[in-house]
Chains A and B, each alone.
Chain A
């Protein structure tokens, strides 16, 4: 069974530029999560999807962050414009159902200069 796929693995951009991350969850997993992991910290939830519906986006900074999960499979997370403080690892995870065991992708390491 293929795991959670994320791309790109690494991204370096200048501040004020836009950036997008892509996630393909494990096949058959209805729930998808985006996490932010700052250096030396644990993952923090940004948004959770049940199929194509965002059911928990309370931690997503909506002034610059957006996400979508069209057709309830792949998902993209976008930042526009990026700020220096956005430098972090962005992790995607999926689970078969809400509350189920979460499987993580390798993450995208973003560096904003």
Chain B
């Protein structure tokens, strides 16, 4: 069962513009959400997270928005840089239990 969904397999953005990556979930028990970034031949690395008690968390160029009523979260990267080109995974967990990952979105930032 796909509890975390990333419906866009890929996204292409011009350098300097905003990148918006989307993620939907079905399990209303999820209370913690994370974004991981993955470069080729490397493991996923943690990028940013948000607790279900918040609707926004910001860290430099990266902001995650959470809409609990819609069971939707998004990652905004602004301004986008070529080094941001990677696969981004959305993940969610409930009550500190195991994480469920989406299928990932491949972001390409063009110079």
Chain B residues near A98 (CB-CB < 8 A):
96
Number of residues in A with C-beta < 8 Å to the partner? 22
Q: When the two chains form their complex, are residues A93 and B98 in contact, meaning their CB atoms are under 8 A apart?
A: no
- Total A-B pairs, Cβ < 8 A: 46
Contact residues of B between 70 and 109, Cβ < 8 Å to A: 89, 91, 93, 96-99, 101-104
Contact residues of B between 1 and 34, Cβ < 8 Å to A: 4, 6, 9
Interface size class of chain B, counting residues whose CB lies under 8 Å from the partner chain = 20 to 34
Chain B binding surface, main DSSP class = loop
B53 at the interface (CB under 8 A from A): no
Q: When the two chains form their complex, are residues B43 and A42 in contact, meaning their CB atoms are under 8 A apart?
A: no
B69 to chain A, nearest CB (A): 24
Chain A binding surface, main DSSP class = loop
Chain A residues near B41 (CB-CB < 8 A):
9, 106
* Cα distance, A45 to B3, chains bound together (Å): 14
Known A-B contacts A42-B101, A45-B98, A56-B98; A99 and B93 likewise in contact (beta carbons under 8 Å): yes
B42 at the interface (CB under 8 A from A): yes
A residues with a Cβ closer than 8 A to B are 4, 9, 33, 40-45, 48, 56, 91, 93, 98-99, 101-107
